Chain A
C-alpha cells in the first residue's frame, strides 16, 4: 500500500476539467507564481494530437494532465458493425506504427472463440512479420525521439531505415501500412518468392546503421545529459499504474509477454528480454534500440525455421477458397459468396487475448453473441494506459524535459483515442 500512498501524496496529476483550466488561466494572482499552460494539441513533439495541461512554477512542472480524445473516431463502435472477416481492416488503423500487432491480437481472439488451430507456417509468418514490424516501430521511435531532443539528423536516418522494412511489407501485403494481412485463420497471402533475400538484405544493412546510431546518440554527452535521470519511474509505480512494455522494463522488471506468457511460437525461438536499471528516459531509449537487435535475432531464426505448408486454415467456412477453385466448384463459389456477404458465424462467448506490442501489452476483449459480427470488441491499448505515467514522470522536472518524457513514452495517438 505504500506505493499507493506515495503516488497519491505526490500530487502529480492535475485533476481539473478543461473549462476549469481555461478559467484558471485567466486569473493572475501576483502572490501565486504558479500558472497553467497548455502544450499542444498541435505541438510537433507531442506525436500527433496530444495535449498536456501543465501547472508550472517558474520552469518546474508541478501537476499535469494529458488531455486526449482528439483522434477519437469510435473504432470500437465501428467494429460492432463489421463482420469478423472485415474486423482487421478496422483495428489495423489503431496503432498505425505497428498495425500488424493489432491485427494479430484481434485474429487470436476470433480464433480462440472459433476454436481453430492455425497451420504452423501461418504462425511463423505472423511471427516474422510482427518482429519486422517491431523493428520498424522502434526505428520510428528512434527517429521521433532524436527529433524531439534536437538531433534532427536522426529523424531522417530513422525513417530511412524504417522504409527498408516497409518496402518489404509492401511486397508481402501490398501496403506500406494498414496491411489487413493477419486475418482470422492465418494470413492473407503467402510470402512472395525469394522473400528470404529481401529479409537478409534488411538484416545485413541494419547492424551497421544501429552502430551509427550508437555513435550519434548513445555515447554522446549532450544526449546523455538530456536523457539520463529524466522522467524516472520505479517498478512499483509502473505496476500500480498499469504501465507495460519498455516503460516497465526500463525499471528493471523483466516482463515481456513473448517470454513470460508465450503465444505464437515464441517459446521455440531464442531471444533476450532487454531491461534497464534506472527507469529513466535514457533506459527507455536504450531498451528500444537493443530490442531492434533482439528482433533481428528472432527474424534470423524465422528465416531458418520457416516451415512449409498452408498459410491459412483449409476450413472453407472461415477462409475463402483459392480463386481457381471458384470457376470449377459450385461449393467453392457458395463458400466464397457466403464469407464475403454474410460472413462466418462465431460461437457465442467472450475471450481476452494479449500480445506484446512495441508499446506494451496489447489486449483484445471480444464478445460474440453467435452471429457474424462481434457484440463487443475492445482493444486494450498500451499507449492509452501508459500515458497515465506521464504526470508522475514529469512531476518536479523542467519544462524542457517534458518533451523528452513524452517522447520516451512513445504514444501513438491513433491507439490512445481509438
Chain B
C-alpha cells in the first residue's frame, strides 16, 4: 500500500459524525484507532511480523519502545473491529525520524499461550526490550537470538509485572554458586 494512505484514514477516524461500529478504519491492512491523538494499530498475532516489516519499509526506522501490559481481569477496553481483548498486550512504539511521526502497535496475547514472533531481526534495538518483556510477563519471543533473563537473576521463578504476582513479602531467590 502507499505510504500516504494512513494519515487520510486517521483523519476520517477522528470524525465524530461517523456512526460507530459500521466499519473499521484500516491502515497498513490492519484495524487502526486513535488514542489521545496518537495512532494505534491493532494487528492479530499472525499479521504482526509482516506489519512491522511494512512499517519499517514505510520509514519507521526506530523501534523506540517495546513493553508488555497485563490487563488481568479488566477486559472492558474497546478494540476496533470487535476484536476480543486478551489478558496480555504487547505494545510497540515506532518512530520515523525523517518524517517526525510516531505510531503504536498493540498486539493481543492470550493468557495460556503468550507467544509472539521476535522483531529483533527487524529492529536489533528491540532485543533488550524483548528480553525485559519476557522477564516481566513471561512472553515467549520466537526466534529471539538471546532469550536469557536481563533484569531478573538467572533461574528466577515467576514474572513480577503480572498482576497476580503479589507485592511484598516475596522471599529473594538466591542461587548457590556451584563448586565454591
Q: Which A residues are closer than 8 A to B by beta carbons?
A: 4, 7-8, 13, 15, 17-19, 68-69, 72, 74, 76-78, 81, 112-113, 239-244, 253, 255, 260-261, 348-352, 354, 361, 363, 365, 367, 369, 375-376, 378, 380, 384-385, 387-388, 417-418
Query: Cα distance A418–B67 when bound, in Å?
Result: 14
Q: Which B residues are closer than 8 A to A by beta carbons?
A: 35-36, 38, 61-65, 67, 69-71, 74, 77, 91, 93, 95, 97, 100, 102, 104, 121-129, 132, 136, 145-146, 148-154, 160-161, 165, 167
Which B residues lie within 8 Å of A365 (CB)?
65, 67, 91, 93
Which A residues lie within 8 Å of B97 (CB)?
239, 253, 255, 260
- Summed over the interface, the residue pairs from A and B with CB atoms below 8 Å come to a total of 115
A261, B121: Cβ atoms closer than 8 Å: no
Query: Cα distance A279–B151 when bound, in Å?
Result: 29
B125, A388: Cβ atoms closer than 8 Å: yes
Which A residues lie within 8 Å of B152 (CB)?
69, 72
A385, B129: Cβ atoms closer than 8 Å: yes
Shortest C-beta distance, A350 to chain B (Å), equals: 6
Shortest C-beta distance, B151 to chain A (Å), equals: 4
A19, B154: Cβ atoms closer than 8 Å: yes
Contacts A68-B150, A69-B153; A241 near B121 (Cβ below 8 A): no
A72, B151: Cβ atoms closer than 8 Å: yes
Contacts A349-B36, A375-B74; A239 near B146 (Cβ below 8 A): no
Contacts A241-B124, A242-B62; A349 near B35 (Cβ below 8 A): yes
Shortest C-beta distance, B97 to chain A (Å), equals: 6
A350, B35: Cβ atoms closer than 8 Å: yes
Contacts A242-B64, A255-B97; A388 near B127 (Cβ below 8 A): yes
Query: Cα distance A241–B123 when bound, in Å?
Result: 7
Query: Cα distance A378–B133 when bound, in Å?
Result: 11
> Which of A81, A244, A352, A388 is close to B128, meaning CB atoms less than 8 Å apart?
A388
